[in-house]
Amino acid sequence: MRCAIVANPAAGRLSPEGKLRVLEEPAGILGAEVFGLDTVSPDDFARCARFLSETHDLLVAAGGDGTILEVINAVDTRRTTLAYLPLGSGNGLRYALHYPKRLTEAARRIREGRTRAYDLVLCNGGHKTLFGSLGVESEVLRRTATHRARGIPGLWAYGLGTLAAMLGGYRRVSAVMRLPGETIHESRLLSLVVAKLPYYGFGLRVIPHARPADGRIHLLAVAYPLACAFPAAILSSAILLPLGKYRNPTEVQVALDRPLRFQSMGEPGPVSDRFTFSVLPGALRMRC
């Protein structure tokens, strides 16, 4: 089996040289070379991943949730088997896969694992993801990125980003969600989470009942005041119950009273006031 590791130079806090050092032993375990650290843009990284997917049997994405998102949208996920080495900050996928923290142990899991078929969510007919949201998270992530650029790590940066969004007076949105056999109206929507995984980054179980291979979209509409949203997410993670209006359809159409950006696995996605989400059953081949 020909295996390649494609590593994102922009993921996490390590330099490209630092990533190469920490990936040396996992690469030896997998019998793989490391590529991608010399790429200079997301498009360049996507081209690298696409080329490797055509020349190797297994493509291992090394980075954060945004890295695996870029790879998922760059390659044919029904033909290319992917795997994941967590090198990012939030690493929600690491928690969903129950991966160990040490990269060498994760590499052994990949080497000794089997290929599983997981679902993907399709957004507006073109963007594939494992989890995302419409609402306040895009503003939180924008402000979190500012704090990270100042050298504030991980969860601290996210907490400060949340506080900044609260103080910045984020304006909630009115939404109509059309599901098969049901229409939901929400006049003060804070966030609409669309997911295949129970976890956001940092181990927060936002939708505890979500499963990666059940053929459903897991939908959570949250209308808490912004000041309560972060504590509610922590409580949801602790008691394993979704705090909000939870549904699990196969598709949903969303109409908003103003355009919003879809936050996809911690990265900026499409912008619109109309969204369609549908499930792609078994569209992701993952070795884990």
| CATH code of 57's domain | 3.40.50.10330
Q: Give me the chain's average pLDDT, please.
A: 89
Enclosing domain of residue 228: 127-287
- β-strands 58-63, 81-86: how paired? parallel
* Residue type for position 30: L
Instruction: Answer yes or no: is 119 within a domain.
Output: no
Output 241 or 110, whichever has higher pLDDT. 110
Sign of the alpha-carbon torsion through 226, 230, 235, 237:
positive
* Of the listed ranges 24-28, 127-131, 158-162, 260-264, the one predicted with least confidence: 158-162
Is the pLDDT at 218 greater than 60? The verdict is yes
Q: Are residues 150 and 279 in the same domain?
A: yes
Chain segment 61-109, per-residue pLDDT in tens: 999 999 999 999 999 999 999 999 998 777 889 989 889 889 999 999 9
Residue-wise pLDDT tens digits, 167-202: 776 788 999 999 999 999 999 998 999 999 998 876
pLDDT at residue 234 is higher than 70: no
The phi-psi region of residue 203 (left if phi > 0; otherwise alpha if psi is between -120 and 50; otherwise beta) is left
Q: Are residues 96 and 164 in the same domain?
A: no
- Work out how many domains the chain is built from and give that number: 2
204 residue type, one letter: L
Same-domain pairing of 210 and 282: yes
| In a domain? residue 264 | yes
Task: Please give the average per-residue pLDDT across 43-66, as a whole number.
Answer: 96
E-strand ranges in 8-130 read: 33-35, 58-63, 81-86, 115-123, 127-129
| pLDDT reading at 220 higher than 70 | yes
Q: Are residues 86 and 140 in the same domain?
A: no
Q: What percent of the chain has pLDDT over 90?
A: 66
Last residue of a domain, one of 113, 145, 164: 113
**So what's the pLDDT on residue 154?**
66
**Which segment, 7-11, 12-16, 24-28, 263-267, is predicted with the most confidence on average?**
24-28
